[in-house]
Amino acid sequence: MRSPRFDRLFPLVLFFAVFLCRGIGFSSAFAAPPVWTVDSLDSHLSFSGKDNGKIFSGEFKKFTPEIAFDRQDLAASSIKVIVDTASATTGDETYDRTLPGGEWFNVFQFPNAVFESAAIRYLGSDKAGVEGYEASGKLTILGVTQNIIFPFTLAVTNQSAHATGNLRLKRLDFGLGKTVDAKGDSISNDIIVRFDIRAHLK
d(CA 15, CA 17): 5
Flag whether pLDDT at 79 surpasses 50: yes
pLDDT classification of 102: cutoffs 50, 70, 90: very high
pLDDT classification of 19: cutoffs 50, 70, 90: very low
Where on the phi/psi map is residue 41: left (φ > 0), alpha (ψ -120 to 50), or beta?
A: alpha
pLDDT for res 16: 46
pLDDT for res 92: 97
For residue 151, count other CB atoms closer than 10 A to its CB.
13
pLDDT classification of 12: cutoffs 50, 70, 90: very low
pLDDT classification of 18: cutoffs 50, 70, 90: very low
85-to-56, 59, 141, 163 alpha-carbon distances in Å: 17, 10, 9, 22
Q: Strands, DSSP E only, in 61-141?
A: 63-68, 78-84, 88-89, 112-125, 131-141
Contact 112, 84 (CB under 8 A): yes
Q: What percent of the chain has pLDDT over 70?
A: 85
- Whole-prediction pTM: 0.83
pLDDT for res 127: 84
Region 106-114: mean pLDDT is 98
What's the whole-number average pLDDT of the chain? Answer: 89
